[in-house]
Amino acid sequence: MLQEMDVESYLGVCLKDAAGKAVGLMAVMSAKPLPNIEATQTMLNIFAARASAELERKQAEEKLRISEERYREVVESQADLVCRYRPDGTLTFVNEAYCRFFGRPREKIIGRKFLEFLPEGTRAAAMEFIAKLQKDRCPVEVEHEVILPDGSIGWQHWVDYAIVGSDGQVTEFQGIGRDITDRKKVEEANLKLAHAARLAMIGELTAVVAHELSQPLTAIHYNSRAAEMMLMKSKPPVLKELRDIVADIRMDNQRASESVRRMRTLLRRQHLEWQPLELPELVKEVLKMTSAEAVRRRVDIKMEQTAAIPPVTGDRVHLQQVMLNLILNGMDAMADTPDSDRRLSIRIGTDGDGRVEVAVTDAGRGISPEKLPRIFESFYTTKKDGMGLGLSIAKSIIDAHQGRIWAENEEKGGATFRFTLPAASEGEQKSGTL
């Protein structure tokens, strides 16, 4: 080839990248002898170094371009929403799914702050979330409200993480999200249903409420009358007896106030509020609510517990609702049982995996085998006048607490309803929702 080109002299230098790998060749060719080979080689080395750097840069740019194209192909094919934004919330990239969700073309979204798509009352919290994301630099999950294209409010679930530049500074954030509006609506419906079930149970306990209030109020009335008579007839008044009467009035007032507080708590509709709970104490509170009903139905209730029971993390009101339902169901199951045999046993302990277990056992007829597998289904009931919601709601509450609930028949008759909950150290993630 050189002969055909009439080349008489040739000088070549290998082009290498930063790692020393050969990426090309730079050569000088002449139809005459090179006059100063050393000078020519020095100059060629300088140009070769520049050419190597430029070639490496172009190769890097091409790799980056190919990588970005592949990234966009993958991102655009996703059903999930994908976006990138700066620390001030300005969107720098959104995929097609994001555009479809908000009903806007990409050019009408890029450059705007994603805060515009959030209800005004939640924007300050969103900026706090970004600040935490920038500080911690690890993926964070969040659920928040969002303004839908029709102006209504929906919900989204996002996993966001910081993108760190070569200088170690956070340049952008990327988020991957999905629409959870339907799930939130189901949760809200479940909360309303659970509230309605609590109202129904309190309706069944109307006699209990009246009894719990009438006793202390009657005692207050007679104690106050006795104090009045003592003040009118005793000269000087008998202070010790008066102090005892006032102390009784104060205690009876506390009893009445506590009864009202427990009932108001159960009647209030609320979302799950996670807190450390001692299950034995919670069960005792429910037994106080049902004590008068147990006397009326002539049911003997016994509670047993092991020595050491770890606390659980849960919602007090909703777990009280589960216990109230199981206790009332146990009483209902013994409607045809002779009075002397009406015993309800509540046992609290731990299972083999260290979870807290509660078992409620009645002395009724048990559950027929064909009905047992469906006992927790919605609107399925074994009672003549039942709604079929109590056990279904109880299951949804235990599921939300990352627990398990089931029923089984006893060999000697009767049925046992059990549920387990993770100990507080196990359930700290608090992810359960109704």
**Tens-digit pLDDT profile for the chain (434 aa)?**
888 888 888 888 888 877 788 888 888 888 888 888 888 888 888 888 888 888 777 877 777 777 666 767 666 667 788 889 999 999 998 888 899 899 899 899 999 999 999 998 899 999 999 988 888 888 888 889 999 988 899 999 999 988 887 788 888 998 999 998 888 887 777 666 666 666 666 555 555 555 556 566 676 766 677 776 666 666 665 667 767 777 777 776 666 666 556 555 555 555 567 889 999 999 998 888 788 778 888 999 999 998 788 999 988 888 888 888 899 889 888 988 998 899 999 999 998 788 999 999 999 988 888 888 888 886 656 665 555 567 887 888 888 888 999 999 998 889 999 999 999 864 444 444 45
pLDDT for the residue 39: 83
CA distance 397 to 250: 37
pLDDT for the residue 56: 77
DSSP state of 90: B
Token couple for 295: 């006397």
CB under 8 Å to 87, separation ≥6 — which residues? 130, 134, 170, 173
**Are the CB atoms for 400 and 434 separated by under 8 Å?**
yes
3-state secondary structure of 87: coil
CA distance 336 to 327: 16
pLDDT for the residue 270: 55
**Are the CB atoms for 59 and 24 separated by under 8 Å?**
no
CA distance 368 to 397: 25
Strand partners, 280: none
CA distance 238 to 241: 6
The β-bridge relationship of strands 343-350 and 300-305 is: parallel
Angle in degrees, 0-180, between the axes of helices 390-400 and 316-333, rounded to the nearest 10: 140
